[in-house]
Amino acid sequence: MSRLKFEISLSLDGFVAGPNQSVEHPLGEGGEGLHDWVLKLEVWRRAHGREGGEVNVSTEVVEEATANDGATVMGRNMFGGGPGAWGEDPWTGWWGEEPPFHMPVFVLTHHDREPLEMEGGTTFHFVTDGIESALEQARAAADGKDVHLAGGAEAARQYLAAGLVDEMWLHVVPILLGAGARLFDETTAATPLEQVRVVEAPGVAHLRYRRAG
């Protein structure tokens, strides 16, 4: 059965980004450190075309979290661009000519657009009729493999609230932000969870949960 999975880094007080996100502070004020644990890993650097980096306990977690992925879903903020970028020189995402997905990616958006085929096996499909439709299309494309919800937090919250998330890895970082964008809110309380695995790694606690029952 094709599962919908996601993974996200969050502060110990539950924020996926600090307050006042901007071009200068894309992760909000104080949020810069949220992804340090992954950016320094060899496995992340290699996937993004860079050399060097660390191998530690987190490496296995990153590999496990993305193993068996057959398709990706992402929110419109994560893809970026906005409506103005759908013109003559259209926005093609943040990742250059060869994005690190290497699979079909279904982008939640309000703006219809033809599929966008990139190098290395990534094709962006634009879905305007909601999260359930995007998941259905991604499941079909995944052909028995899993669907990976790449983010951002808003998309993750919507899928959680709809009870559609089968598994998640939370990467809890020892930072207290005090304010910003939360992963969980009053809409996400419905799903009963089961703890699957807890992993201690340098500067981060990896917590894996699945939908119970």
Six-digit token string for 130? 């909601």
Considering the rule CB under 8 A, would residue 47 count as an interface residue with a second copy? no
User: Minimal distance in Å, beta carbon 211 to a second copy?
Assistant: 11
SS3 for 83-112, per residue? HHHHCCCCCCCCCCCCCCCCCEEEEECCCC
Residues found in the chain:
213
| Sign of the Cα pseudo-torsion (17, 19, 22, 24, in order) | negative
Q: Given the rule CB under 8 A, which of 10-18, 79-87, 109-117, 134-142 is the region that contacts a second copy?
A: 10-18
Cis check for the bond before 152: say yes or no (omega within 30 of 0): yes
Binder among 27, 156, 175, 181 for a second copy (CB under 8 A): 175
Binder among 49, 82, 115, 178 for a second copy (CB under 8 A): 178
Helices (H), 13-170: 36-39, 42-47, 57-66, 76-79, 131-142, 153-161
Alpha-carbon gap, residue 12 to 6, rounded angstroms: 18
Q: Given the rule CB under 8 A, which of 40-48, 88-96, 147-155, 170-178 is the region that contacts a second copy?
A: 170-178
| Cβ distance to a second copy smaller for residue 29 or 136 | 29
**Residue partners of 12: CB distance under 8 A and separation at least 6:** 172, 173, 174, 175, 176
Q: Given the rule CB under 8 A, which of 63-71, 104-112, 133-141, 173-181 is the region that contacts a second copy?
A: 173-181
Alpha-carbon gap, residue 28 to 179, rounded angstroms: 9
Binder among 8, 14, 25, 116 for a second copy (CB under 8 A): 14
| Interface characters, 16-45, with a second copy (x: CB under 8 A) | --------------x---------------
Which amino acid makes up residue 107? V
For residue 105, the Cα-to-chain-centroid distance in whole angstroms is 12
| Cβ distance to a second copy smaller for residue 71 or 204 | 204
Strand, coil or helix: what is 66? helix
Considering the rule CB under 8 A, would residue 213 count as an interface residue with a second copy? no
In the chain the first and final C-alpha atoms are separated, in Å, by 15
| Cβ distance to a second copy smaller for residue 18 or 70 | 18
Considering the rule CB under 8 A, would residue 133 count as an interface residue with a second copy? no
Considering the rule CB under 8 A, would residue 13 count as an interface residue with a second copy? yes
User: Minimal distance in Å, beta carbon 174 to a second copy?
Assistant: 4
- Which residues contact a second copy by CB under 8 A? 12-14, 30, 170, 172, 174-179, 184-191, 193-195, 197-201, 203-205, 207, 209
